[in-house]
Chain A
């Protein structure tokens, strides 16, 4: 049977088979192009599973925020969002226009947005507000004197609706600068429900459970994990989840600031734990070498294609992975998700997010920042789908489907115990460059998971060089 399937695919460009094949080819081509063009991958998103068709009804959202009258003011907001995500965000801006009478223009930016803003500032025309994806970028904007602190109204709104943790990562030197408007939950594992049912496997809650589930899935004849290791950040996400849960938030913060060394025993433990999965070539689709050539979109897609025999059963990926799940697989029934299992006492919540930062201080821009910090704004976009808000005043029911609600609940329930993606906090040379630093070293580790001490030594050497301490 295996033999025949190989032959069939070798002759794949037959007319009756051409459609799925070429469609896949196009999609892969598109993702390759997208991957090549969009360099920063932290700001992915833009799911289009917003099934709720509330386009026509202009329902009166509850008015919980006081905004000044701003007739005649015009404002500019810069963000890297495209497609549905941009369209949905514009609806939020539209509501602001309705309430205040100001005119808001969306300025499409390119990654890395901080460089885009740099050129705008140099040209003397910075946008009033920019959505910055990393704490490092906010700090950079503050250091260069581009960002302006939030006013009292925005701070009040922020403190009412955001947990302390989310407020703190928007601060630089104790002053509030950023309103985290959009969040990403990176502590999720997506799985193919059919495979789990065939294997009689259940959603694991702890790391040993996860290993058990993986074994069961493997026994049923399906490879348990898909890892898109061609892109190093998928591996740093694995590491961060394990480390945060195992070593705890304090250690995580210290390691993120490079206050403890990567040669610390806690890092050794995390790598040892990771090796329990990464060290089994049979558990990874394509083995380590295959994984290293699988890019992120493909790593998600291959879990949800192939009927009863997908290339793998699970993929650890953030909420933004929804975009890469084929339309034929219904999210919530065919494609399901469970939180990254707890390695230590508590399950990890590693997140990312985009913060609104004021670049031109004015009554208008302050009002817009206040608006973006309000539950009203976040609720509008939550209802449209493909969006996650760190705003705890957004009702969970605002999210359009069960999976989204589950993801949002996990994020909000984490309270202050969530942590921002560590590699996003690190200098880019260490935590954000393909083929360099943490990305490359973890890729090497995936290839040779026995080499724990060597991996730690290399991580420490590169981190020391990048952090300069």
Chain B
């Protein structure tokens, strides 16, 4: 915003002063400039000046604090995270957005429906940051039923590693089973041939039982074999019923794997039928029965997109979604100005398409690329809304950036001194980038 106003006022000033030979004309010039100066002064210069002054005062604004506020810029944990994240933002967001923009621009030049494609890529620019933030909050939702990102991720994952049938099943009260580590359950005592074994578990909702699950039946003893039942020892609306006994209306765990383990080795295994019954051969005599962990594997829940580790990259992703289109349009405009003959000449000389792109197109576009990157850098330095909206409260300080910290310090923690110091610091960071951009712009105009 500052750069725009500066650019807007300077050109009228320059020709006027060159022409003014007499004092009268100078007064007229001053008169015309006055409104602009007053507005600039009141809306830009005064607030900046006051922020600088305020940054030297303490919290209440009464006592002079010297450099204390600036010191806390580099000692406060929150501000340091913000600074670190800002660096990540400034390094990655503009470069990735520009790179993508360049690729889109070069590719769309050759495609028949290039304009339509450009339109689609540019479309997110029409949305406000706030709306984009709300959209991406949903995209990154943890719940695969709501968040697109996790829906895709979980879909891909489940194709290769399907989840199990009984994720939350666990032994109930006074169970003959105990945890065997790693999510498996094992009988406390060994089993003998001719006995029947009961392996009751609870915690699987009736609607989530496998389709082929039938009413559980107590297994009948068979000589030289071990028989048993594994079932859901819980009746809807009635609780466990008779504890550890197969009640009517309780369902068998169809497809539950049962292993007989002797001295840590699996000697026999079986899979439960629809009514939960299973039969093991005599070789399992004296073994403990184990329900392996594969029965209970939790459904894969996708990535914590907005968890502490991934939140900043995720938000940068949403920023790129918005701004790659902007980069593309500017670069495409630059590309239109690149002389065709140069590209043709390179091709005639036998350069491959990649060489043309790398050695001819990119160098010719370098000024445009620089302007786009620098513009995005300025834009990224003041990033606030996306972070504020997308990051949930629990990871907000992991996603913190300077502008957000400024807001938090100034408005929710009532620390206007420190907030002013942050704003001055931000201004100092923006100035070199802005200076670079203005200089480049001027050179462009001269050319």
Contact = CB atoms under 8 A, between A and B. Distances in A.
Interface stretch (A287-295, A328-336, A415-423): A287-295
A282 interface: yes
Contact of B413 (A29, A32, A198, A429): A429
A311 to B, nearest CB: 8
A393 interface: no
Contacts of A216: 239
Nearest to A287: B301
A197 B155 contact: no
A293 B310 CA distance: 13
Interface string B292-307: 0000000101001011
B134 interface: yes
A230 B390 CA distance: 12
Interface stretch (A53-61, A267-275, A384-392, A436-444): A436-444
Interface residues on A, range: 35 or more
Contacts of B236: 198, 220
Contact of B208 (A1, A9, A10, A232): A1
A293 B306 contact: yes
Given A1-B209, A25-B138, A10 B304 contact: no
B412 A293 contact: no
Contact of B163 (A2, A12, A286): A2
B413 A293 contact: no
A24 B395 CA distance: 24
Interface in B113-162: 130, 133-135, 137-138, 141-146, 151, 154-155, 158, 162
Interface string B221-253: 000000000000010111110000000000000
Contacts of A200: 237-239
B138 A220 contact: no
Contacts of B400: 435
Contacts of B135: 29
A219 B414 CA distance: 48
Contacts of B238: 200
Interface string B169-210: 010100000000000000000000000000000111111111
Interface in B367-415: 388-389, 392-397, 400, 408, 411-414
Contacts of A220: 202-203, 205, 234, 236, 239
Contacts of A338: none
Contacts of A24: 146
B396 A435 contact: yes
Contacts of B208: 1-2, 221, 309
A435 B392 CA distance: 9
Contact of B142 (A10, A33, A115, A286): A286
B142 A309 contact: no
Contact of B205 (A294, A308, A440): A308
A223 B158 CA distance: 22
Contact of B134 (A29, A199, A440): A29
Nearest to B235: A200
Interface string A224-267: 00000111100000000000000000000000000000000000
A295 B412 contact: no
Contacts of B62: none
A293 B392 contact: yes
Contacts of A222: 205
Contacts of B240: 219
B165 interface: yes
A197 B236 CA distance: 8
Contacts of A286: 142-143, 301
Contact of A1 (B207, B234, B392): B207
A116 B336 CA distance: 53
A94 interface: no
- Among the interface residues B141, B143, B397, which one has the most CB atoms of the partner chain A within 10 A? B143
A6 B408 CA distance: 40
Nearest to A292: B394
Nearest to A140: B414
Given A39-B412, A219-B240, A220-B234, A28 B146 contact: yes
Contact of A436 (B144, B307, B392, B413): B413
Contacts of A308: 205-207
Contacts of A436: 78, 397, 408, 413
A221 B205 contact: yes
B281 interface: no
A33 B134 contact: yes
B172 A6 contact: no
Contacts of A218: 168, 170, 203
Contacts of A294: 142
Given A219-B240, A232-B394, A435-B393, 11 more contacts: A1-B211, A2-B208, A9-B151, A32-B134, A200-B237, A219-B234, A286-B301, A293-B142, A433-B413, A436-B78, A440-B394
The 5 closest A-B pairs by CB, nearest first: A221-B205, A435-B397, A230-B392, A219-B202, A435-B396
Interface of A: 1-3, 6, 9-10, 12, 24-25, 28-29, 32-33, 36, 39, 115, 197-200, 216, 218-223, 229-232, 282, 286, 289-290, 292-295, 308-309, 428-429, 432-436, 439-440, 443
